[in-house]
């Protein structure tokens, strides 16, 4: 299964405070271990939301909103894309991770939808009736 591992923002990350050399080295080693194990597909750190934009969709209208965005603890400061056998395996790998923040932090694991998930969802006919798939 594929999953996204989401590093939540902190006040420091939203201020653009960069990690020190010790944390960078520890995260580099951890990322190397993920690559060697065939787990990591991609990863990245994100700039503060003050440098980002959102596009709000409302019917046919599009509205652009500039950051910063709040609440801070609900924002994303980094991510990994992993290929694992199970959510439990992802949890075990994440428990080995150095704390990616300078303070207590939360990291979320979210499984990606797979084609089979969509095959199980009902299909709708043009008249509004539902047809069960699979």
Give the pLDDT confidence of 57-77 residue by residue, as tens digits: 999 999 999 999 999 999 999
Give the pLDDT confidence of 84-121 residue by residue, as tens digits: 999 999 999 999 999 999 889 999 999 999 888 877 66
Give the pLDDT confidence of 1-34 residue by residue, as tens digits: 999 999 999 999 999 999 999 999 999 999 999 9
DSSP 18-62: PPPHHHHHHHHHHHHHHHHTT-EEEEEE---GGG-EEEEEETTEE
DSSP state of 17: P
Model pTM score: 0.83
């Amino acid at each position: 299964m594929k999953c996204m591992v989401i590093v939540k923002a902190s006040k420091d990350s939203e201020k653009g405070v960069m990690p020190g050399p010790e944390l960078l080295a520890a995260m580099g080693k951890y990322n190397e271990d993920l690559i060697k194990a065939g787990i990591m597909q991609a990863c990245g750190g994100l700039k503060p939301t003050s440098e980002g934009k959102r596009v709000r969709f409302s019917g046919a209208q599009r509205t652009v909103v500039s950051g910063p965005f709040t609440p801070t603890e609900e924002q994303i400061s980094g991510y990994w894309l992993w290929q694992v056998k199970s959510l439990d395996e992802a949890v075990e790998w994440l428990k080995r991770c150095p704390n990616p923040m300078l303070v207590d932090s939360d990291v979320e694991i979210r499984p990606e939808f797979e084609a089979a998930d969509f095959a199980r969802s009902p299909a709708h006919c043009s008249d509004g009736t539902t047809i069960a798939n699979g």
